Structure formats: structure tokens, C-alpha cells
Amino acid sequence: MDDLALQEPLSADYSDFGEEFERLMLKELADVTQGREAKDVGH
């Protein structure tokens, strides 16, 4: 992950990147949630 990208204010140049980043974060969050649920079911 690029720390500089997180520190930069979200300008027009970053708008597309921001949308893609948000999608990736939501997908990652969903994967983590599903993984946690699967782990709970496993116990």
C-alpha cells in the first residue's frame, strides 16, 4: 500500500484512483468479514 497516496488530498487527478481504492477496500472488508464468519462457523 502506498502511504503517500493516503497522505495526499483527494484532488481531481485522484478521483478515479479514489473510487477504485474505495471498491478495493470494500471488497477487502467483505472478504475479511466472510473469512471471520467462516472461521466462527468452523468452531
If you write DSSP's letter for every residue of 4-22 in order, what string do you get?
HHHHS---GGGHHHHHHHH
Residue 20 — pLDDT band, cuts 50, 70, 90?
confident
**E-assigned strand segments in 1-43:** none
Q: Cell 484532488 belongs to which residue?
A: 11
pTM above 0.85, yes or no: no
pLDDT at site 27 = 93
Spatial distance between the Cα atoms of 17 and 19, rounded to a whole number of angstroms: 5
pLDDT at site 33 = 87
CA angle 40, 43, 39 (to 5 degrees): 35
On average, the pLDDT of the chain sits at 74
The 10 Å Cβ neighbour count of residue 42 is 6
